[in-house]
Amino acid sequence: MAFPCPLCGAVSRVRTSRMLSAATKEIYYNCSNDDCCHQYKTLEGEPLTLAQPIKGGAQIPPERLRTLPSLAKPTPPPPLTVQPGRVQHRVLK
């Protein structure tokens, strides 16, 4: 997330952030202007509702939820065959 530096107006980048409460976040920024190098913090506070959810915040039906592709576990590599003095690898086809 970029935020303009309050001193020079250059783009600032988030250095770190921390939650102060369940709805308040403190965000630390560094100015990207080498002549300025301003370091500052902002507070992101209580969210204000601009429009009520449709149906009074009822649960979204499962068929309307966006689904992410399931991540299948990769197959493990074949075991190595160890013989005295030699290591053999099986070649995957």
Domains of the chain: 1-45 (2.20.25)
| pTM score, whole prediction | 0.52
pLDDT > 90 fraction of the chain, expressed in percent and rounded? 39
Q: Could you report the per-residue pLDDT of 7-43, keeping only the tens digit for each? A: 999 999 999 999 988 888 999 999 999 999 999 999 9
Q: How many CB atoms lie within 10 A of CB 7?
A: 13
